[in-house]
Amino acid sequence: MTPAEFYQRDRRLQPPALTPDYKTSVARSPRLSLISLENTASEITGPTFGHGDIDPIDNDLIKNHARTGDPIGERIIVHGRVLDENARPVPNTLVEIWQANAGGRYRHKKDSYLAPIDPNFGGCGRTLTDGTGYYFFRTVKPGAYPWRNWINNWRPAHIHVSVFGTAFCQRLITQLYFEGDPLIAQCPIVHTIPDPDAIQQLIARLDMNASVPLDCLAYKFDIVLRGRRSTLFENRLEGN
């Protein structure tokens, strides 16, 4: 079957390139319009990954860098489904995450925040969705941290999420926030997104039903990738 094309990206809900309240975007944003390109083979295909590419422990951030014990912090499960705009699951797709530790410090040679590195926490994980598009990670809740933008900006607790889908035009990186965090409303990076509902879609909900009693809380985070047209009319291929 010829892979079908995708619905156009709704740029009204996506952040524009130039968002002056997020200062770094000013010098890094194209000023000219994007050229709209109807899908070709280069956009509707994309890399795929298998269980040979990753290890089962890769989705357990509590264990995948444990050296002398478990990392410090609030133990959580992050789980959900990868869906497309047609509400169909996206199976066997690679989901990668990265985050600061419970004190808000990243294990990165360029992070110099004064909160300490946790010797038992790497801060990255990866997994493949199952046949129903479901994924989960176990980790510790990241801490808020300050960053240089205005004099006193703090990032809300967040986990970076990278997803592939089946086509290069579905490629997405976003950030997961946590329900109830008062820093969300103040964050210039969150508010690069012009659409309030689209922001709500980035806030993981506390999911007591998925928590493990006496062990860890859970947050649910569904991810929606662009949807693919469903029908390919043989007599008008140009429309599909």
Partner 1 sequence: MRQTLDYLRETASQTAGPYVHIGLAPGAAGFDIYREELGRDIAGPNARGQRIRVEGLVIDGMGSPVKDVLIEVWQANADGIYPTPDGGAVEDGFRGWGRVITDFETGEWSFETVKPGAVAGRHPTVSSVARRVRDTHPDWMGRTDEAAARMAPHLNFWLVARGINIGLNTRMYFPDEAEANAADPVLNLIEWEKRRATLIATRGEDKAGLPVYRFEIRLQGDDETVFFDI
Residues 90-129 that bind partner 1 (CB under 8 A): 92, 94, 96-98, 106-111, 122-124, 126
Q: Taking the CA atoms of 66, 67, 69 and 73 in sequence, report the sign of the dihedral they define.
A: negative
Nearer to partner 1, 27 or 151 (CB): 27
According to the binding rule CB under 8 A, does residue 149 interact with partner 1?
A: no
Nearer to partner 1, 32 or 151 (CB): 32
Q: Which of the residues are catalytic? A: 106, 145, 155, 158, 160
- For the segment 151-190, give every residue that binds partner 1 (CB under 8 A): 160, 162, 166, 168-169, 171-175, 189-190
CB 218 within 8 A of CB 138: no
Shortest approach of partner 1 to residue 109 CB, angstroms?
4
Per CB under 8 A, the segment of 68-76, 129-137, 203-211, 219-227 that binds partner 1 is: 219-227
Q: Which amino acid is at 7?
A: Y
According to the binding rule CB under 8 A, does residue 40 interact with partner 1?
A: yes
* Alpha-carbon span 133 to 20, nearest angstrom: 36
| Tokens linked to 221 | 């985070």
Map residue 42 onto helix, strand or coil: helix
- For the segment 48-87, give every residue that binds partner 1 (CB under 8 A): 48-49, 53-55, 58, 64-65, 83-87
* Alpha-carbon span 135 to 54, nearest angstrom: 14
* Alpha-carbon span 53 to 70, nearest angstrom: 25
